[in-house]
Chain A
């Protein structure tokens, strides 16, 4: 792929976030898409590439009146949208299309017009995990953490601090679902969901959506908003079964995807001003900081405890409040990228001063997949 040749020229979320019982999942895609088209000053007929997950790209294209020459329906969980950005950049560079719309919409809380969860009983996860009482992500995504905590001597208090710091960021964001400050004790005393995870260590379940429009960096100059360039991208998958992760203390998909994105961008860790790590549960920022190389194995919990990722810290992390406090519809990756774009446009509610490089790192499934995007507001 040619480097630094594609940019985000449109980015927006749904008009509302949180509880939206009056919109179906498909309309959440459309609401986000229409807001994003307005942001970019485009009409649906200007779009010739469509990528989405949750709904099929066919449904989204037809609903919006788009006739694409390129589609991508990669659906590997919440990082699918990072992977769509990666694929869209390649497609634009290859000349398969010029202007790509990536949409997300999910009626995660209201469940209006949304699909069903659950593995087929004949799938490997259906045969070898579901019989043992797995009840969705809170009881599955969380399984590796006790091994991680024992390996590195991480305490439940340290795990709780991840949620405490993110709530501080959420307090600065008027659109965040939860904004009141919390303490480590509040987290540890909240309802037990799946030991060692308490309610406040688990993401929200809300309704919402978001969309991005990408085009070549050359064309990006002519759009109303300041372009946000794609410097590097990565993706990988590991296993559909959390029990079959190669190592419970680190995600292979995270490491592969992160390394690829850093190499492609040609940046060092010290160049990164702002970071988003998909936090469906409180342990994910720990795995993310280590697997992306910001911390050595076992050191991320101390890094967060010492306020390096908090407001005023040297590596602002999950500045929208994250899946733990901002919103989480089910496939959160789109919102992580929206916050990266806001930070680099200089319009985030909790703006990081002079942020030039932001990374959005996503997880898909339950440690099943990963996608990483390095963004910059500096023309390549």
Chain B
């Protein structure tokens, strides 16, 4: 039986830099050149002050586990149970992801645990940013 793949993103012109970054093993965020607000998801203007003067920069990849559920539902490309998580990046923004390299249990997945980005290639075009626990 062919293994179904997880749904993959179709990048748009405004998000191209993010997906180019993950392909190169970088987590790219944007910062407003006027008010210095750091934001995600990508867009070519600042969601706080509406300035179009914004820059892309490489984020640290450090994050904390902010919240999650552990899904027991069948899903293409996943073996339940698996965590669907939201992490808070060191730079401020939050993003949805999966937690790699650890058991998918409430005992292991403690809120606020430190994490770091890892990059998982899906296709030649698409690499996803996942997060794994930082070894204490």
Contact = CB atoms under 8 A, between A and B. Distances in A.
Nearest to B39: A244
Given A146-B111, A243-B95, A244-B41, A131 B69 contact: no
A154 interface: no
A64 interface: no
A127 B11 contact: yes
B9 A147 contact: no
19 contacts: A121-B8, A124-B15, A127-B10, A128-B96, A132-B6, A133-B98, A135-B74, A135-B75, A139-B73, A146-B69, A194-B72, A194-B73, A195-B69, A196-B69, A196-B106, A242-B86, A243-B94, A244-B41, A248-B67
Interface string A124-166: 1011111111111011101111110010000000000000000
B133 to A, nearest CB: 17
A185 interface: no
A131 to B, nearest CB: 6
Nearest to B106: A195
A248 B74 CA distance: 26
B113 to A, nearest CB: 12
B75 A127 contact: no
Nearest to A144: B67
Nearest to B77: A133
Given A128-B9, A135-B73, A243-B86, 11 more contacts: A121-B8, A122-B9, A126-B10, A131-B128, A132-B97, A133-B78, A138-B71, A192-B72, A194-B73, A196-B69, A244-B41
A367 interface: no
B111 A150 contact: yes
A128 B9 CA distance: 7
A194 B8 contact: no
A241 B11 CA distance: 17
Given A127-B10, A139-B84, A133 B66 contact: no
Contact of A145 (B67, B70, B74): B67
A23 B68 CA distance: 38
Contacts of A122: 9-12
A38 interface: no
A195 B109 CA distance: 11
A139 B71 CA distance: 6
Nearest to B15: A127
Nearest to B19: A127
A147 B10 contact: no
Interface string A216-251: 000000000000000000000000011110001000
A143 B69 contact: yes
Interface residues of A, number: 37
B92 to A, nearest CB: 12
B89 to A, nearest CB: 12
A197 interface: yes
Nearest to A128: B41
Interface in B35-88: 41, 66-75, 77-78, 81-82, 84-86
A347 interface: no
Given A132-B84, A193-B73, A195-B106, A143 B9 contact: no
A150 B111 CA distance: 8
B8 to A, nearest CB: 6
A194 B71 contact: yes
Given A127-B15, A139-B84, A243 B111 contact: no
Nearest to A146: B67
A143 B67 contact: yes
A244 B73 contact: no
Interface string B1-43: 0000011111110010000000000000000000000000100
A180 to B, nearest CB: 24
Contacts of A143: 67-69, 84, 86, 96
